[in-house]
Chain A
C-alpha cells in the first residue's frame, strides 16, 4: 500500500510548528543562515505537501491530471444476497491488483448492500471485456460511478473533549475549500518568508530568530484554522493567528507606539472573538435541540447537515450566524471593527503582506464559506444574515476605498485598500457567490502581497513610508516598479488581469442577487456601491503608483542617499507573485467563454460542491450557462471595465507625474477639496468617534467605577485582603494550641475522643 496521504495532514501543521519551536528555542544561539533556512524550508515543505494533497484530491475524484480517465464501480447484481458481498469485492479487488493500467488501487466504499468497488482507470475501462468477465465471475456488475460528493481527507488524532453527549474530536479535514486556502497560505507564505530573509537581514540574531519563529507559528496556526474539522479546532487556529498577529504587530516592542498598535489589534480582535464563542454556543444550542439527545459535536459537516436550512430554532441559528459574522468583522477588519487593521501596519512590512493582507484577514470569508449552508438559510427577525453580511461588506468596501485616497503613508493606502477589498469579498459571500469570493481572495492574496512586498522594498530603499517623499523610483528600482504596477493594475481591476475577473464575478453575483425573486432593492444599491468602489480603487491604485514611482525623486534631502534596487531575495518573490497575479486570471475566466465549458469559472466551479450555491437558495436565479446569465455577464464586464478604466484615467489626469505639491487634492489646508481630503485622510474620523463615544466614556465612568470601587475597595481591600487577614488570624489561632507540651496534646486527644464518643452515642438510635 502507498503511504496514506492522510498522514500528510498532521505533518503539514507540524512542520511549521517545529520550525517555530526550533527557531524559538535555539535560534538565538545559531547563525542567521540556519535560522532562515529552517524558517523558509518549513512553509516550502508544507506547500509541497499541500500540493500533494491537492493532486491526491484531484486523483480521488478524477484520476490523474491530464489524462482521459473514467471511473467505474463494480457492484452486486440485483438478485444476489448481500452477505458475502465484502468477500466477493475483496476477491475482485485482489485480482484487479494484477492489472497495471489502473490509476489507483481499487477502493471499496459504501455500506452493507450498497458496497461497491471503485476503479479509476483509462477511458476504455467502461467497455473493458476482461473487466466484465471478472465481474461476472464474482457475481458483480460493472456500472458507471455515480457522481459522488468530492473527496476529502480526514485525519482524527483522537477525542479531544468528551463531556456527556458533547464530543469534540481533534480532527483535521482537507477538502476543496481548505486545500485552496492551504496552497495560498503555504505558497505565499513561503515567498514572504524568503523575502523576509533579506528584509529583516539587518536585525540582530535574537530578533531575527524571534521574527521567523513567530512567522512559522503563524503559518502553523493559519493551517490549523483552515484544516480544522470542527469549529473548536478552527477556533484554536483563529486565536493562534490572532496571537501571532499581535506578536508581530508589536514586534518592535521597545517602541511604545507600535506595542500600543499591537494591543489595539488584540483588543479589537478579542471583541470579535467573543462573538465567535457566543455564536458557537448558539449553534451548539440549536444543534442540541435539533438532535434531541444525540451526540453533539461542532463538526462542520454535522452542523451544516443538521442546521443548514433548518426551520427549527431559526432564531438561535440566525443569532449564531450573526455572532459568528461579528467575529468575522473583527478578524477580517469590517465595519464596525475595521479600525485595527490600519494600525496593524506598525508591524514589519512582510508581516503586513502575509498576515494583514493575504491570509489571516481572510479567515472571516473562509469561515462563512465553510459554514455557508447554515448562513445561506439563516435569518434574524426576517432579515437574511447574508444580506447583513453583504451590506456591511459593501459599505466597508466603499468607505475604506474612499479613505485610501486620502492617505500619505504608502502602507496605510494598502491597509485601507485591504479593508476595502475584504469588503468586496464579504459582498460576494453575502450574495451567495462563495466561489467568486474565494477567487477574489486568492487573486487578492497575490496582488496585495506584490503590492506590500513592493512597498516594503520601497520603504527599505527610501527609509520612509510617506509617499510625499518618494516619487521617481521607476528609474532606481525597475523590478519593483513593474511588479507593483502589475499588482496595482490588478487591484484596479484593469481588464484581463485577475482582479478584473474576480471583482466582476462578485459584482455580477450581486446584480443577479438583486434580480432574484423577492430581492430587496438594497441589492441594487450594493451593486452601485461595488461599482463605485471599483472606480475608487482604480483611482487610488493609480495615485499610489504615480506618487511613488513617477515624476522626480523627492526624498533624500541634503546628502541623502539614492534609493537602491531590491536585493535578489526580495526581488524573486516579487517577480513570482507578479507572474501569479497575471496567471490567477486563468482561475476564474468568465463563463461566457462557452467553448471552455465546463472549465469556465474554474475556481467557483471547483468549489461548487463544497459551498452553498445561490441557485439552490434563490428563486429565479439564472444558471451559469443560461442565456440570461451571459447577457448580464457581458454587460457587467463592460460596465466594470469602464469603471476601472475611468478610474485609472482620472488618477492619471490628477496625479500623473506631478509632485504632490502641484496637485490640488494633496493640499490639506487650502483648496476647495481640503475638507473632504481631511475627512478621508482621517478615515471618516471613525477612530475619533469610537474613541469619544465608547472608549473615553468607558474609561471615565465604567473603569473608574469598576477599578476604584469594585476592584480596589470591594475586591482588593475587602475580599482579597480580608480573606488573607481572616486566614492569618485563623493560622495564629491554630498555632496557639500547639504549645509544645505533650500532656496538652494528650488532653486534646482525649477531649476529641470523648466528644466523638458522646456524639456517636447520642445520635445513634
Chain B
C-alpha cells in the first residue's frame, strides 16, 4: 500500500500494539508509584517505591529486549514508531540510569540511624519516582519514534518531567533556580525544534522519518529544508548539551538534587542522542543537511566544529570545578563532544564522495560505537551518582569534592566503584568507557575526520586530570569530620549499595569481556539504523 495514502495512516495492526508495551510500562508504573506513595503515608520507609519502580524498569527492559530487539526497524503503528535493536540498546542504557539512580536514593527519606524521618531533605519520593518513570517513558518513545509528531511529544514528555524533577527539592533556592533556567532555555529550544519541524514539513510534506529519507526535495524547497533541518539539529544539540547550547547544563545539574542530576545526565543524553541519530539519518538521506561544493553535507562540518568546541569547552570547564555535580555537568558536555565525533562520522555517509562504501562502514561503526558508548556512559555515570546519592544524608551533602576526602578509608567499596566509574569515563583500558571511546574514535578515523579524533583524544587526556583528582581526593586524603567522606557505611542502605555494586561490576565486565549478546545487539542496532 502506498505509504502516503490516507488509509495507510489510519490502519493499525493490532499486533503493533505490542511495540508500545515497553513505553507503556514505565508510564503505568509511574502511576502505580504515585498511588502507592499515598498508601505508604508520610515519613514511612519509601523503599517499596524504589522496588516498584525497579520492577517496572526490569519489566520494561525485558519487554524492550524481547519485542524491540528482533524488530527490523520497519515502521509500525501507522508509521509512528520504528522499533529496532537500536531502540532496544538505547532503552537499556536509559533503564540502567533510571533503575540504578532510583535504587540509590531509596533510603533518602530515612535518617542516618534508620529510625525517624529525614527532615533535612525535602524530596517527595512519590513524585520523584513517578516523574522518573514518566520521563523514562518519554525517553523510550523517543528512541524509536518514527514520526516527528511522536518525536516532539516524546521529547516534551521527558523534558517537562525533568524540568519538574530539577525543581523537586522545593526547599532549596538553588533547585528552583536550576529548574527555572533549564525550563526557560528548554522551552526556548523546543520552539526552535518545533519550528524546524514545521519548515522541514513545509519542504517535504511529510512528518515520517522513513518517508523523509526517501523524499527527493525540490531544489526550490531545499533552502527551507536545510533551515528546518538545521533548526531541528540545534534543538537536539541543546538537549545533549553541545557548545554553544550548553550553558544550561552546569547550572541545572548543580541546582538539581544529586539523584535528579544523575538521572538527567544519563537518560536525557541517551535519549537525545538516540533520537538525534535517527532524525539525522532522515535529514541526511533527504539532503536537508545541505551539501557543499565537494558534495559533502554542510551539516557534517557544522557538527565538526560543534564537536570540537564541545570537547574543548567541556573538558576545559571541568578542570577547575569544585562541586561534583557541576564537574559531572562539564564532564557530560565533554562526553557529548566525543559522541558528536560519532555523529560527524555518521553524517559523512550522506556525501557524494567516491568511497561511499567506506563511509557506510564508518557510519555503521559510528552507530554501533554510539550505542556501546551510551551503555558505558550510562553505567559509569550511574555508578558515580549512585555513590554520591549513597553518601548524601542529613547534613552530609556532597557539594564539594572535599566532602569525598578519605572515602577510601571509610567506605572502601564505594570509593572503589567510584574510581572504576571515573576511570571508565576517562577511557582507561579495562573499563567499558575505553571500548566505547575506541569504537567511536575508530569510526571517526574511518570517516576521515582524523583531526577531530586527535583533538578529542588530547581533550580526553586532559580529562584524566579532573577524574583522577577525585580518585586522589578519595584515596590520598584523610577524612574530614562531618563530611560524607568521613561517615561510615550505613547497613540500612542496601538498595544503594546494590546499585553501586551493579554499576561497578558491569562497567568492568563490559570493559574486559563484553558479552556477545550485548555486542550482537549493538551491531544489530547499528544495522537497523544504517542500511
Contact = CB atoms under 8 A, between A and B. Distances in A.
Asked if the two chains touch in their complex, CB atoms less than 8 Å apart, one says yes
B241 to A, nearest CB: 12
Nearest to A743: B184
Interface stretch (B148-156, B230-238, B384-392, B428-436): B230-238
Contacts of A723: 462
Contact of B234 (A735, A745, A752): A752
B316 A731 contact: yes
B223 A748 contact: no
B457 interface: no
A742 B180 contact: yes
Given A764-B291, A764-B292, A742 B245 contact: no
A727 B245 contact: no
A724 B248 CA distance: 27
Interface of A: 723-724, 727-728, 730-735, 737-738, 740, 742, 744-746, 748-749, 751-753, 756-757, 759-761, 763-765
Given A734-B313, A738-B251, A745-B247, A763 B320 contact: no
Contacts of A746: 184-185, 188
Nearest to A759: B302
Contact of A763 (B244, B298, B312): B298
Interface in B293-331: 293, 298-299, 301-302, 306, 312-313, 315-320
The 3 residue pairs across chains A and B that have the minimum distance between CB atoms: A745-B247, A752-B244, A764-B290
Q: Which of B222, B244, B292, B293 has the most CB of A within 10 A?
A: B244
B316 A730 contact: yes
Given A749-B244, A757-B227, 10 more contacts: A727-B315, A727-B316, A728-B320, A730-B319, A734-B316, A744-B247, A745-B185, A752-B245, A760-B227, A761-B226
Contact of A753 (B231, B248, B293, B317): B231
Contact of A734 (B248, B251, B317, B465): B317
Contacts of B317: 731, 734-735, 738
Interface residues of B, number: 41
B298 A745 contact: no
Q: Which of A727, A733, A757 has the most CB of B within 10 A?
A: A727
Contacts of B320: 728, 731-732, 735
A763 B245 CA distance: 22
A748 B237 CA distance: 13
Interface of B: 180-181, 184-185, 188-189, 192, 222-223, 226-227, 230-231, 233-234, 238, 244-245, 247-248, 250-251, 290-293, 298-299, 301-302, 306, 312-313, 315-320, 462, 465
Contacts of B184: 742, 746
Contacts of A728: 319-320
B156 to A, nearest CB: 18
B185 A764 contact: no
A748 B246 CA distance: 9
Contacts of B230: 756-757, 760
B243 to A, nearest CB: 8
A749 B316 contact: no
A763 B298 CA distance: 7
Given A756-B234, A764-B226, A765-B293, A748 B244 contact: yes
Q: What is the predominant secondary structure among interface residues of chain A facing chain B?
A: helix
23 contacts: A727-B315, A727-B319, A727-B462, A731-B316, A731-B319, A737-B247, A738-B317, A742-B180, A744-B247, A745-B248, A746-B188, A748-B247, A749-B189, A749-B245, A756-B230, A756-B306, A757-B227, A760-B299, A761-B223, A761-B226, A763-B301, A764-B290, A764-B298
A727 B292 CA distance: 34
A745 B181 contact: yes
B247 A738 contact: yes
Nearest to A735: B317
A498 B234 CA distance: 85
Nearest to B330: A734
Contacts of A733: 316
A724 B320 CA distance: 11
Contacts of B231: 753, 757
B508 to A, nearest CB: 19
A746 B320 CA distance: 24
Contacts of A744: 247
B465 A727 contact: yes
Nearest to B314: A734
Contacts of B306: 756
Contacts of A757: 227, 230-231
A760 B226 contact: yes
B316 A753 contact: no
A760 B290 contact: yes
A738 B316 contact: no
Given A735-B317, A742-B184, A764-B292, A756 B247 contact: no
A723 B316 CA distance: 12
Nearest to B292: A763
Nearest to A757: B230
A744 B185 CA distance: 11
B244 A760 contact: no
Contacts of B312: 730
A724 B466 CA distance: 12
Contacts of B233: 756
A749 B292 CA distance: 25
Nearest to B184: A742
A730 B290 CA distance: 33
Contacts of A727: 315-316, 319, 462, 465
B238 A738 contact: no
Contacts of A738: 247, 250-251, 317
A731 B313 CA distance: 8
A723 to B, nearest CB: 8
Nearest to A762: B298
Contacts of A756: 230, 233-234, 302, 306
Contacts of B313: 734
Contacts of A748: 244-245, 247
Nearest to A753: B234
Contacts of B292: 763-765
Contact of B244 (A740, A751, A761): A751
Contacts of B302: 756, 759-760
B157 to A, nearest CB: 22
Contact of A761 (B227, B316, B465): B227
Contacts of A740: 251
Nearest to A747: B247
A765 B290 CA distance: 8
A757 B313 CA distance: 21
Contacts of B223: 761, 764
Contacts of A749: 185, 188-189, 238, 244-245, 247
B298 A760 contact: yes
Contacts of B222: 764
A732 B312 CA distance: 13
A763 to B, nearest CB: 5
Contacts of B298: 759-760, 763-764
Contacts of A735: 317, 320
Contacts of B293: 765
A744 to B, nearest CB: 8
Q: Which of B298, B306, B318 has the most CB of A within 10 A?
A: B298
Contacts of B290: 760, 763-764
Nearest to A751: B244
Nearest to B247: A745
A303 B291 CA distance: 54
A751 B317 CA distance: 20
B185 A742 contact: yes
Contacts of B291: 764-765
B61 to A, nearest CB: 31
Q: Which of A746, A764, A765 has the most CB of B within 10 A?
A: A764
Contacts of B188: 746, 749
Nearest to B238: A749
A735 B238 CA distance: 18
Contacts of A730: 312, 316, 319
